[in-house]
């Protein structure tokens, strides 16, 4: 998320203020719920305080977290070792496949 905010800051300096929030897709529903929930939970006490700024950034409206199932996560082809069929499916989704 830090990198996304930095890129948005860079683009806003080059092209002017960006109107929309940066959309980040996540396949972890617990992470999304934790980022939106303001209550203290005993099972989350191990999370370092420096990571609570994510909740603040979402409250500001700079970033929007959206759930995307793992099977639809196109970026997985760039970050994980996948079977050939999934690689072909995701590269087609990125527009990178050869015809």
pLDDT tens per residue across span 25-61: 888 888 888 888 766 666 666 776 767 788 888 888 8
Q: Hey, what's the torsion of the CAs at 58, 63, 65, 66, to 10 degrees?
A: 140
- Rounded CA gap, 39 and 99, in Å? 51
Phi and psi, residue 21, nearest 5°: -75, 150
Give the pLDDT band (50/70/90) at residue 73: confident
DSSP-based three-state secondary structure for 91: helix
pTM: 0.70
């Amino acid at each position: 998320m830090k990198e996304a905010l930095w890129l948005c800051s860079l683009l806003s300096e080059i092209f002017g203020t960006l109107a929309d929030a940066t959309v980040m897709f996540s396949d972890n529903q617990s992470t999304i719920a934790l980022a939106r929930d303001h209550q203290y939970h005993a099972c989350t006490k191990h999370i370092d305080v420096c990571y609570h700024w994510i909740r603040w950034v979402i409250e500001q409206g700079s970033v929007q977290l959206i759930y995307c199932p793992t099977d639809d996560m196109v970026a997985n082809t760039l970050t994980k070792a996948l079977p050939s069929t999934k690689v072909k499916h995701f590269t087609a989704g990125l527009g990178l496949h050869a015809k």
